[in-house]
Amino acid sequence: MTTGLEPVATRADRAAATQEEVLDLLADRPLVVLTGAGCSTDSGIPDYRGPGKPVRSPMTYQEFVSGREAQQRYWGRSHLGWGRMGRAEPNAGHHALARIDPDLLITQNVDGLHERAGSRRVVALHGRIADVVCLTCRAVTARTALHGRLTELNPGFAERHRAAEVRPDGDVELDDTAGFKVAGCRECGGVLKPHVVFFGENVPADRVERCYEAVDALVESGGALLVAGSSLTVMSGLRFVRRAAKAGTPVVIVNRGATRGDELATRALDAGTSPFLTALAERRA
């Protein structure tokens, strides 16, 4: 992945559209949908790059594997965030996408809410925060089990930091993590990491290839690529917009604020994802 700090383009005037224009364009076409953090804000999970948000830099993979201190900082924050994110429920936009049932739903989110809402064909580009992987033996286990272990190892930790602000990647704003006890792998004692793609890691090639195939298939089917709730700041999502635009496939972007892909968009709508996706599901019913 890239650093995630690339500048966001100014919304292209030629692509600006009304909701009715966008609904008309997408009403009868096969769709591939790419979603970002904006799809989950109505579920109480904040985004990184919405209008007025401060610049935040998530922990990189290189920092995470640098030693115990970084792992304490990550897991201390993430332990608190998981206790809150785990209670988030799919919102109207997630349910609308399940009804729309696109040819493929590509999500940059790690919260698993699309799957819980009933979407069937989903590629979670960056993995799911509900899984944990050992960096030594590669065993994958459930986050719920680790959460219980961390709660036992750190009694009272959650209560002491109840006021910590939740962040988009399932953690919180917190500096006081020096005393946090980190759990190792039950199988081999190795370092545990959430089974998600950190900055500094690459999205697995098979996931990217499946997405490219779905985007390429839109050429013959006369379909469109819909981007919902993503600023497209990182290349992991922007690459699919570039691929579609290069092939002449219509690209529609629905997002609060400008995105890095606006210059490539056929239509761009400044709107929240939940009401728009609900209206699209009703139009396509």
**Do 126 and 110 touch, CB atoms closer than 8 A?**
yes
**Do 30 and 101 touch, CB atoms closer than 8 A?**
no
134 annotated among ligand-binding-site residues: yes
Catalytic residue positions, numbered: 126
188 annotated among ligand-binding-site residues: yes
The CA distances from residue 210 to 16, 84, 105, 111, in Å, are 30, 32, 11, 20
137 annotated among ligand-binding-site residues: yes
211 annotated among ligand-binding-site residues: no
CA quadruple 53, 109, 190, 182: dihedral sign:
positive
The CA distances from residue 50 to 41, 56, 258, in Å, are 10, 11, 9
Element of type H or E holding 225: strand 224-228
User: Which positions make up the binding site for Zn(2+)?
Assistant: 134, 137, 185, 188
Which residues does the annotation place in the binding site?
A: 134, 137, 185, 188
